[in-house]
Amino acid sequence: MEMEALIGKIFSIIGFMTFVQSYVPPQVRQIVRQWVMRIFDSVNLYCCVSLPEFKGKHGWNMNELYTDAEEYVKTLESAAEARNLTAYRGVNARELGISPDTDQLIHESFRGVRMCWTQHTIQKMVDKETVERHAYTLKMNKLDQTLLKAYLNHVSEKAAEHKLGKRELKLYTNSGFCAIRGQGWNSMPFKHPSTFHTLALDPFIKKTIINDLDRFKAGKDFYRQIGRAWKRGYLLHGPPGTGKSSLIAAVANYMKYDIYDLELTKVSHNQELRALLTQTSEKAIIVIEDIDCSIDLTDRESKEKATESKLRSQLTLSGLLNFTDGLWSCCGEERIIIFTTNHPEHLDPALLRCGRMDVHIELSYCNFAVFKILAFSYLRIEAHELYPLVEEKITTGAEMTPAEIIEILMSKVDSPDKAVSNVMQFLKSSKTIEHKCSTREFILV
């Protein structure tokens, strides 16, 4: 009887709807529909926020909130417990990616409020063609809707951190083609293994550099407050083989920044330099190696006597300085500029003043602490009977670069005794400098 009664009610509703569709005017139906929706909204306890993949009238402009949500949802614990998952790995990617498939309910708690995510597919007409679009829907209680902006900002911040932590770094070099047309850089994956953990560097200098980088990375509000461009300049100088390139690679791996290796000899004039630098991304390290050998940036007086047309057709010191701390220095944030040279005395003082090169680091010949780091890395020994003699020779000024020590240790990695003995012999035959090898110049401006 109950089943018959239920069937009867269903048919009654169907009959009523048929009557409404057939005999009630469209204007009345529209009014009834609006009232029904209002009643439904008043009893509905949830708010749904749509984050479409694209925005704009024609749906071609990427919605950054969608990409943030896509990155963020993959990090939630409930995402790994979804019934249907998608696995992927990008070209040259180090890690395997796993994300929930479409129409999977992913939830979390934010400030004690339950948030539910669902990704779904939408069929949309674009230029008279049916295209497939994706969107995320965020469902939350209406009473907690005041948390919406704070939560979406939280999603964007965490997504940015996750992207930065897992992204593949790139090494860029200027191609020599027309930078003004946007063709200034070529790139390849950057997979240099150097880190601060493996870097043979004086422990005090290493710790000081890391602390300086940490302050810089967290200094967005500070730089904005004092009215300075969010950038940091480093000058690395010292003999060849002292680890300048390895230090740059370690900084890039620590900060998760791309490297732009700027070859000044391929830059013909200041306008091209500006075009190149405006094409660099944020969170980047711009490197100019051997700046004293690249082009003549010292004789400013003779350049001032050149004709105006000639100045426009060449790269000048003023053009480079305008990039380091002039008006063009603010075109992009969170950038580190690194100059390297073997002969800092050859550089124009204008390049070295405060505000351009904030940190001066001299990477000189090995001191004993650096030698012990290298010996442990390559030979896995912390002490040896010859260590006192090695320390004495290094302390009294025997010249030996980290590269020279590494070459000796690499040739005898299976025989620590022989390796240390060979280092000792090399130190005995090397030149001696006046106690310079036991210290480093380190200036924080």
pLDDT in tens, 166-215: 778 899 998 766 555 556 788 888 989 999 998 888 888 999 999 999 99
pLDDT given for residue 109 in this prediction: 92
Name the phi and psi angles at 91, rounded to 5.
-65, 130
Answer yes or no: is pLDDT of 4 > 90.
Answer: no
CATH code of the domain occupying 170-362? 3.40.50.300
Q: How far apart (Å, rounded) are the C-alpha atoms in residues 442 and 56?
A: 52
- The yes-or-no verdict on residue 127 having pLDDT over 70 is no
Most confident option among 232-236, 278-282, 303-307: 232-236
Q: Is the pLDDT of residue 97 over 60?
A: yes
- d(Cα 344, Cα 292) in Å, to the nearest integer? 8
344-403: pLDDT as tens digits: 888 877 777 766 788 899 888 888 988 999 999 899 999 999 999 999 988 888 888 888
Span of 45-54, 57-66, 155-164 with lowest mean pLDDT = 57-66
**Three-state DSSP class for residue 305:** coil
State whether residue 1 is helix, strand or coil. coil
The residues spanned by each domain of the chain are 43-166, 170-362, 368-442
State the Cα–Cα distance between residues 310 and 302, nearest whole angstrom.
12
Look at residue 436 in the predicted model and tell me its pLDDT: 42
Query: Which of 131-140, 176-185, 430-439 bottoms out in mean pLDDT, i.e. has the lowest?
Result: 430-439
pLDDT at 62 over 70: yes
| Element housing 424 (H / E) | helix 416-429
Residue-level length of the chain: 445
Tokens of 410: 């690499």
The residue-averaged pLDDT of 222-242 equals: 88
What pTM was computed for the model? Answer: 0.65
Amino acid 171: pLDDT:
93
**pLDDT tens-place string over residues 283-298:** 899 999 888 776 665 5
